[in-house]
Structure 1
């Protein structure tokens, strides 16, 4: 049970997560309409992807700030910036301004996510951390259910700009209230020790990684020389600067924090790539009505929240690396379902159900990895651990999605209704799921379960 000491702080964190989730999910259905109205359909991959690229920078900024001065200040700055970005996007006159708004929104979202994780680590006892993280995941249920359909209706009846303006109006007052509450209870949100236990990544490095990720997203919008050069430059920046944002040994899954960080990238890459390709399969090759696809998203949101609650309340005594293994196995089963759903003889529900099954696995796996990373982080370095997890998550999405997309495009034209491309993309996702299951033990915490 929550004590009075943590009730107000938990409520403030939950409010921030709810508002962040609602703003992030509600605008997604309006982005294609906005790109069309701004005559920038060819740059839609950049608009859609720069949010993830910018959250790399926001995660590092928020984590470094949280380690230096406690989590309250970067969290407050993140919620205020989120309101500003909605106004920037709402007043867009060019596709580049819309992309800038989404980039700033990614910075804000990265700061908020990392700051909340760091605040939980700095101010909550270990016995309450699983429940706190479970509650943060649950705060995405209503945004997942109501945000996209409401935004779609508003965009259809009025304008996509009304969606951004409306979200800004709805968000500004609660955001100010959250800032005031955090200021009033700064002593309970945690303040990082003044000592420095290791080098912190420079924001210049984080900026270079964000630019590299954005260039990679832009590169997939065309096949000419300019896009090829963007791909080369983006990959070069990622290869050179990404290792500086992650713990040493991440690439080889060194025991402890590096392994947990790598597992976050593998699992997130597999899940979000599946979440991107299954709706595309349903809409193009299987001719499933949009309502049915929306119900699949709804089911996935509920499944993620429910399994997250289970891991925080019913499985909180289980070793966390065991839960990571279990979650990865469930995700592998979901990938197999999606691959089976590409066969013309299988009902479309088979592929749609893969999203729900995968969400069950991620609901167990993601909080467990967060707890493992916090357990492995030195005192005063929880912000760095959280930002490393956020960076790995975003890079995992970009890398796995990019490889799957390249494989999908290479297979187009083979098989029935291009189903071979989908089958190949889904088959690729077995690899990160299997690696996560096998490497989970390298992230274990010796001693009693956290």
Structure 2
């Protein structure tokens, strides 16, 4: 519901001035949400059928590794020629990636399909956030970001449970191929709309668009970091010499090249954009590792049907949207860094629920509920971090700021998931109950969640609507 001031000014999200942009971005996020959420409950089943359970961290992590490249491409492209072209390219490629995954004959092809899906998702996420920064004034951005999260509610309500039913009655392949068939026509329509907006926003012929200030990370560095991430995810899947060498190579690439993708000072949590980017990495690493391991726990140890796992993802998506709505409506007068702190604390509470779910005496719903609790925290935290990043960057560097967030998000997922997977595999190889391995992995996730809660104060904004230091 639009407040009185917005009615008076005629500048709400759905006013004549912003309606077309709002609708376009909402459809983009709807399509992206449907494709992203529906396939998640089927990934453990697909990996098991393709004899690739040991490589499940690679399947889950390849999406993240590719998002690094997609985020860099999307941010640089958006700063150079506007956000609509990378948006159109990402939506168009999404259908192709579903076809590749759905026709997988080996776990390696499945990982390749998820890699390409991560590439498109990285482009789309950065481009949407940059487009929101370019389109809406400061006071409407929190609600625009909340609306983007809300656009995931309908996909979350029907996507995962329906995918679980399809996988139970037919095959996990049907989920991927069916999504590709359903998305073809909407994707074509959205791409046409975005191309038209890109042409309308293009500078007059003979003029040169303003160049963003400062260096942008070369694509080859992003590829090196992505390769390091993939090698690391593969390496932690076993403890023999080839896997250890793969891990060493991956860590080396990450240590050498990853800092060149980040705002200077990110590693030491310097105030401004650096610590804001670090917060995104810590939070995302925590939540998405939890999101990867909970369905594996439900499938392998609790023997939960795929449709029930899908319902858990539905509850988590709704909870995420609720947290996002809360920060966009009730908490708009709070300093943004405090919202980040509260969100991180709620995520830590969700991890405690996940740990409780590894005890044999607790029902399987306990593990499923942990996703929903943690998702409330992520819904509050994610848009708040995005707004802080925009506050700490000048307008012509919003693409770079969003790219930095996407990069640290993916690096956080890679690092945290890699550590959790290594601990999980070590514990899983021991004579102890397999549930102990899951408990150890969930316990490890408490560290980045608590660290995010502590560091949030360093991301304090310079003032209401005032741009902070443009670091990077």
- Offset at residue 21 of structure 1 (A): 1.5
> Structure 2 matches for 1:391-410, cutoff 5 A?
391-410=407-426
- Offset at residue 35 of structure 1 (A): 4.6
C-alpha separation between the residues in 2 aligned to 1:420 and 1:32? 19
Aligned to 1:173: 185
1:154/1:282 Cα in 2 relative to 1: closer, same or farther (>3 Å)?
closer
3-state SS, counterpart of residue 422 of structure 2: helix
- Offset at residue 291 of structure 1 (A): 5.1
3-state SS, counterpart of residue 128 of structure 2: helix
Q: How many residues align?
A: 450
Choose the corresponding residue for 2:28, options 16, 41, 48: 16
Aligned to 1:65: 77
- Offset at residue 188 of structure 1 (A): 7.5
Mark the runs of 5 or more structure 2 residues left unpaired by the alignment: 1-11, 467-472
3-state SS, counterpart of residue 56 of structure 1: helix
Choose the corresponding residue for 2:116, options 91, 95, 104: 104
1:341/1:441 Cα in 2 relative to 1: closer, same or farther (>3 Å)?
same
Greater alpha carbon shift after TM alignment, 133-142 vs 280-289: 280-289
TM-score, normalization by structure 2: 0.87
- Offset at residue 241 of structure 1 (A): 0.7
Aligned to 2:90: 78
C-alpha separation between the residues in 2 aligned to 1:344 and 1:38? 29
Contact 1:18/1:140 (8 A) holds in 2: yes
Contact 2:44/2:295 (8 A) holds in 1: no
- Offset at residue 365 of structure 1 (A): 0.6
Aligned to 1:244: 260
3-state SS, counterpart of residue 255 of structure 1: coil
Greater alpha carbon shift after TM alignment, 98-107 vs 395-404: 98-107
- Offset at residue 448 of structure 1 (A): 2.0
C-alpha separation between the residues in 1 aligned to 2:424 and 2:180? 38
Check if 1:267 corresponds to 2:283: yes
C-alpha separation between the residues in 2 aligned to 1:54 and 1:171? 22
C-alpha separation between the residues in 1 aligned to 2:385 and 2:274? 11
3-state SS, counterpart of residue 185 of structure 1: helix
> Structure 2 matches for 1:138-157, cutoff 5 A?
138-157=150-169
> Structure 2 matches for 1:4-403, cutoff 5 A?
4-35=16-47, 42-186=54-198, 194-285=210-301, 292-403=308-419
Contact 1:123/1:188 (8 A) holds in 2: no
1:284/1:319 Cα in 2 relative to 1: closer, same or farther (>3 Å)?
same
- Offset at residue 350 of structure 1 (A): 4.0
- Offset at residue 177 of structure 1 (A): 1.4
1:431/1:162 Cα in 2 relative to 1: closer, same or farther (>3 Å)?
closer
- Offset at residue 251 of structure 1 (A): 0.5
Contact 1:319/1:449 (8 A) holds in 2: no
1:420/1:168 Cα in 2 relative to 1: closer, same or farther (>3 Å)?
closer
C-alpha separation between the residues in 2 aligned to 1:428 and 1:286? 21
- Offset at residue 377 of structure 1 (A): 1.5
C-alpha separation between the residues in 2 aligned to 1:161 and 1:207? 29
C-alpha separation between the residues in 1 aligned to 2:163 and 2:360? 33
C-alpha separation between the residues in 2 aligned to 1:245 and 1:316? 31
1:397/1:142 Cα in 2 relative to 1: closer, same or farther (>3 Å)?
same
3-state SS, counterpart of residue 212 of structure 2: coil
